[in-house]
Structure 1
């Protein structure tokens, strides 16, 4: 057996072993059911959804800072405040029959470091709102229709200070921000489509 044949044999054995392991091992990746109360991995921050239009179907996403003393500066990337939010797979839609509608989860290339337009500051006791139009091709064409909608994901970068206090180094190292990777989850809202 020459070296090339041996390399192919070892690679094939490794691949088959990995496939066997992943197909026979019990899965530890499970989705937790959505609770009835909105929650946040950052105390004081809460996403709230409400419908503002039926045609085209549009949701108002509001991020509230209920913390009485702490401001939060957050990177909008991969949150409902992201201009690409409807394309990122953050929203879960469930139809009247209880069937989840597959949504797009597009990968978006970002320019580094994040710019000022990629940040939002939510001062204590205030809120930031953003409209998300749900007129994407993945939404079923059946009209009229009703869906239960909620959003969940993880924050890319959040700091417990005002955005103006962040330097370029902070933005370049957003994965080192104090609340990077913390989960967010909204309320469930009924969205009507006409």
Structure 2
């Protein structure tokens, strides 16, 4: 009887310990997910959209570094600076006439590791870099003329507070350890006219 009581006591203690552990883990994960760090942007870094062509509809994405002395290098993957930006689901388009959102399902892109020099863009302090995004994709309705309210948002894979030339291969291989990994980005909203 003593052995059985001891076994029940050990089992109960183990069960209670597991419940405490998993509840403790989930509550700390919850507070981490609820923290503002991931939702904040990168200090001093901003995206701006403007339309530069109506046919084909094209947007100019300008990335500005407002920091007076800190360079910023970002991994282009899944940002508006990515060559595949128009097909990644970053852009939100609302038909001005109907108020309906246009579905822009993002493509999954296979990436070669580690990221290459071409996968990076460095913005020196107080400067900006620009990239054209042509929006004549199959998901855009064929209705012409048309006007869409366009904005974009997402999360950075990696941003470093240094020049790209100062990054080591180990930095690129461990890009999720970059100082601003997972930080949010967004842009202004513009009217994009299609003719």
TM-score normalised by the chain length of structure 2: 0.79
Q: Residue 145 of structure 1 aligns with which residue?
A: 146
Q: Which secondary structure does the structure 2 equivalent of 1:83 belong to? A: coil
**Gapped regions of structure 2 (runs ≥ 5):** 1-38
Conserved 8 A contact 1:40-1:46: no
* 1:157 counterpart residue number: 158
Q: Corresponding residue for 2:76?
A: 76
Deviations 1:30-76 (A, max 9, x none): xxxxxxxxx96111000000000000000000000011111001100
- Match of residue 120 from structure 2: 119
SS at structure 2 position matched to 1:58: strand
What CA distance in whole angstroms lies between the structure 2 residues aligned with 1:120 and 1:82?
10
Number of residue pairs matched by the alignment: 156
Instruction: Report the aligned-residue RMSD.
Output: 1.0
Is 1:61–1:131's contact at 8 Å kept on the other side of the alignment?
A: yes
Task: Give, in whole Å, the separation in 2 of the partners of 1:40 and 1:161.
Answer: 19
Segments of structure 1 that go 5 or more residues without pairing to the other structure are 1-38
Structure 1 residues 189 and 140, CA gap change in structure 2 (3 angstroms): same
The 8 Å contact of residues 72 and 121 in structure 1, kept in 2 or not, is answered as yes
Post-superposition Cα deviations, 1:135-160, rounded to whole Å, max 9, x if no partner, equal: 00000000000000001000000000
Which residue does 1:24 correspond to in 2? none
Any idea what the Cα deviations from partners look like across 1:57-108, whole Å, max 9, x if unmatched?
Answer: 0000000001111100110000000000001000000001211100030000
1:165 Cα deviation (Å)? 0.3
The correspondence of residues 42-57 of structure 1 with structure 2, limited to 5 A, is 42-57=42-57
Matched residue SS, 2:192 = strand
Paired with 2:123 and 2:50, the residues of 1 have a C-alpha distance of 19
Q: Report 1:59-138 matches (<5 A).
A: 59-96=59-96, 97-138=98-139
SS in 2 for 1:111: coil
2:192 counterpart residue number = 191
Moved over 4 A (4+): none
CA deviation vs aligned residue, 1:12-46 (integer Å, no higher than 9, x gap): xxxxxxxxxxxxxxxxxxxxxxxxxxx96111000
Is the helix fraction higher in 1 or 2?
2
**CA radius of gyration, larger in:** 2
**TM-score of the pair, normalised by structure 1:** 0.79
The aligned residue for residue 168 of structure 1 is: 169
